[in-house]
Structure 1
Amino acid sequence: MSSESEARSPLDDSEVEEGFREELEEDEEPKVCQVCGDKATGYHFNAMTCEGCKGFFRRAMKGPAKFRCPFQNNCVITKSNRRQCQFCRLQKCLSIGMLKELIMSDEAVEKRRMLIRRKRMAEEPVVLTEQQDVMIQELLEAHRKTFDKTFSDFCQFRPLNRDQNPMAEYSLKPAKSQHCPDLVGAGGVLGPVESSLPHGSSSSSFCNIQDANNSNTKGKIMFTTLPHITDLSTYMIQNVINYAKVLKSFRALTIEDQISLLKGATFEMVQMRFNMTFNENTGIWECGSLLYCMDDAMRAGFQRHLLDPLMKFHYTLRRLHLDEMEYVLMQTISLFSPDRPGVTQHSVIDKNQEMLACTLKTYIESKRSGPEKYLLFPKIMACLTEMRTMNEEYTKQLHQIQDIQPEVSPLMLEIVSQHS
């Protein structure tokens, strides 16, 4: 392919070096290249030239080659013979005022190329592909079938017993109210957001596992909210499993990989679903008429070195103000994690996760406005990473609770079995 043809590619160096091409004056007489007489495209390196001579001058000035005229150093350069004598063509370029100093460095060329790409991307609206639209509809339908923010179908549960205060509390409450909100109604009133945030404490563990396991405490109910929290967790886990089973891409995996993915992701997906009910102003999870605070988890036996980062996670994620579809895509990205223990179809699962991540990024860019949208995708991915770090601690504490008060459901234990 000739150098002239190469110079006309959409993102060639000449376009980068010159920026946006100077428009030719719209007069009756067309401009001609001062080197060879071909049709000129604008001023290049301080002279009116065609694309071919512009590219030739740039390469000649950058290259180490020294040209020689095979004739008498006075060739007449035309469009048809301009490639026959490089020496005289270069002399003609210099004689009309083309300047080597205007040729940009390779680094400057690359920088300008990136600016052009960004400008073009900014001008072209980002839209979801047909395939991404179909995927979104499938995920959204599956989510709505398996998650109800009102928790109206969560009715077969043991009562929530808040008679025992946790040894460390997450929220400031009025002196007359020493409990979290009642199951129905507002009950207790939490303090401001700042008072509900996780606060560092040297006594991060509110109970001593060894003391709790001795003969003096066996047979006593230590974790008063554990029966209800077990019922709630089991209900949420079943819904996550039902969600995964609806997805075609999940059902296409081997049973072994389906189990491995669910064991790895269920805790994370449950927390993301709970986050959709989280009130960042009060620190309360508003599950329809059911209201929960972090003290309920402490009364169930969970300890501060899990609940502190978990509370921080819920505030961080909720303050991103994701819409329903962004939550759904985030949960599904967590589900299709190829590095979960026991996974064998790594490449297939990785491809699914990459497709989901690209869809989330495109969805954000196409649906949101304002500069903050460019930071939203990396913030969501950072929240996913943060969730991964809590899985192991959750598993550890769940087994400790079960050793003290064996009321954890078999499904909950099965979900965390691969981490034990």
Structure 2
Amino acid sequence: MSVSSPSDPEGSPCPLPRRQVPRGEEEKVCAVCGDRASGYHFHVMTCEGCKGFFRRSIIKGVHFACPFSRSCAVTKAKRRQCQACRLQKCFAVGMRKDMIMSEEALRQRRALRGQRRLAREQPAGLTAEQQELITILIAAHQRNFDSSFSQFTHYWPAVRLCIPSPQPQSPPEPGEPSACPQQDCLDPDVLPDVFSMLPHFADLSTFMIQQVISFAKEIPAFRSLPINDQISLLKGSTLEICQIQFNTVFNAETNAWECGQHCYTIQDGALAGFQQIYLEPLLKFHISLRKLQLHEAEYVLLQAMLLFTPDNASITQRDFIDQFQEKVALTLKSYIDHCHPMPEGRLLYAKLLLLLTELQTLKVENTRQILHIQDLSSMTPLLSEIIS
């Protein structure tokens, strides 16, 4: 009785029952040893055992020697008795060593098979209605959100008021021009309250609010609502949507919002009068949202979810708005499931819902501080109307 080898699965001490061959189907046999074949391997119909033996022998580069006359019988029962003759038989029936894949190629093929298996396990793709919704929202966003802020050039620039340092300075050397009291960069001794961002922030708020309004008006479901419902929805969501749009230009490495030629940090917000109780959570929110690496479709779906929030008591078409928000939310969930395979998509939808809750808290504090900074709200009637 032959002893089974761990490297040769066909030599199992408990042989599997022989497969019943349907009538008209010829059972395939290994061209090397005569065992039941599992398919074509390295150009020849072979069993799994001979396939593995041939691959291991070539990869390891082993040189076998036959102790007899190099004419040993290679059968299912005797195939392990002489490896030299078995390998010779492999070549004789046409097995090709140039078809053996490297370990790296095998790893890549296994990874590809794993991806395909995960793709089959993923839920079905988006419906035609969901795809159409995403197309409408992306088109509205791209037409109305100026990510380069090129149209913002007509607004007031940031006002940097620079006064001479109160500390005595040495007089300039002969022939050296005297320093201008208004410089591009602030002196370390200049107090923050002489750096006014209020006019600039007022115009920036107006600019972004106008973009949100234009975005909303391009959504058919929004246009179908009565004008009073449209106004209510915009009042309830515009500040939050502005933050979602603002996140698309946020640089998580520098903690700055890069808006074309303009660049903002929370320090600029502090110099406009906003307090740290709002600015620190705001920065944390933008860092967390940016780390999720959302697609453009997910950004616009978030904006639509915020827009269609029927919280205002004066809303008349509450059922329609609630149903549309649910449709947007389901589309976002389906998009994440379809386009963010595991582990990337793990809990992504839940994380977004938590961030939207944080954004609601930020909006309340933002509104409170805008009302506190009376100069800001008085500079922009549109902002004043939104928070009223």
Indicate yes or no: 2:307 matched with 1:335. yes
Cα distance change, pair 317–164 in 1 and its aligned pair in 2 (3 A): farther
Match among 144, 147, 154 for residue 146 of structure 1:
144
Indicate yes or no: 2:334 matched with 1:362. yes
Size of the aligned set, in residue pairs, is: 253
> Normalized against structure 2, the TM-score is what?
0.60
Separation (CA, whole Å) in 2 of partners of 1:393 and 1:313: 14
Match among 249, 257, 265 for residue 293 of structure 1:
265
Indicate yes or no: 2:226 matched with 1:254. yes
The aligned runs of 1:50-61 (5 Å cut-off) are none
Q: What letter matches 2:292 in structure 1? A: L
Q: What letter matches 1:127 in structure 2? A: G
Cα distance change, pair 137–399 in 1 and its aligned pair in 2 (3 A): same
In the TM superposition, residue 385 of structure 1 has moved relative to its aligned partner by 1.1
RMSD: 2.8
Paired position in structure 1 for 2:381:
410
Match among 153, 156, 167 for residue 155 of structure 1:
153
1:157 and 1:228 in contact (8 A); partners too = yes
- Alignment deviations for residues 244-300 of structure 1 (CA, whole Å, 9 cap, x no partner): 011000011111111111011101000111110000000111111211111111111
Paired position in structure 1 for 2:217:
245
Large movers: runs of 4+ above 6 Å: none
- Alignment deviations for residues 141-190 of structure 1 (CA, whole Å, 9 cap, x no partner): 0000001211111111112023479xxxxxxxxxxxxxxxx8xxxx89xx
Q: What letter matches 1:327 in structure 2? A: Y
1:285 and 1:293 in contact (8 A); partners too = yes
The aligned runs of 1:73-112 (5 Å cut-off) are none
Q: What letter matches 1:130 in structure 2? A: A
Cα distance change, pair 347–222 in 1 and its aligned pair in 2 (3 A): farther
Separation (CA, whole Å) in 1 of partners of 2:313 and 2:246: 25
Q: What is the percentage of aligned positions where both structures have the same residue?
A: 45
Match among 125, 131, 135 for residue 127 of structure 1:
125
Separation (CA, whole Å) in 2 of partners of 1:124 and 1:283: 35
When structure 1 is superposed on structure 2, of 363-372 and 290-299 the one drifting more is 363-372
Q: What letter matches 1:416 in structure 2? A: I
Cα distance change, pair 240–408 in 1 and its aligned pair in 2 (3 A): same
In the TM superposition, residue 223 of structure 1 has moved relative to its aligned partner by 6.9
SS at match of 2:347: helix
Cα distance change, pair 253–394 in 1 and its aligned pair in 2 (3 A): same
In the TM superposition, residue 27 of structure 1 has moved relative to its aligned partner by 6.4
Separation (CA, whole Å) in 2 of partners of 1:262 and 1:367: 30
Indicate yes or no: 2:321 matched with 1:349. yes
In the TM superposition, residue 124 of structure 1 has moved relative to its aligned partner by 5.5
Larger C-alpha radius of gyration, 1 or 2? Answer: 2
Separation (CA, whole Å) in 1 of partners of 2:274 and 2:162: 14
SS at match of 2:257: strand
Q: What letter matches 1:408 in structure 2? A: M
Separation (CA, whole Å) in 1 of partners of 2:157 and 2:272: 13
SS at match of 2:159: coil
Give unpaired runs (5+ residues) of structure 1.
1-24, 30-118, 166-181, 189-206, 208-220
Q: What letter matches 2:379 in structure 1? A: V
The aligned runs of 1:253-292 (5 Å cut-off) are 253-292=225-264
Separation (CA, whole Å) in 1 of partners of 2:381 and 2:307: 21
In the TM superposition, residue 383 of structure 1 has moved relative to its aligned partner by 1.1
Cα distance change, pair 164–363 in 1 and its aligned pair in 2 (3 A): farther
Give unpaired runs (5+ residues) of structure 2.
1-18, 24-116, 164-183, 187-191
SS at match of 1:232: helix
Cα distance change, pair 125–396 in 1 and its aligned pair in 2 (3 A): closer
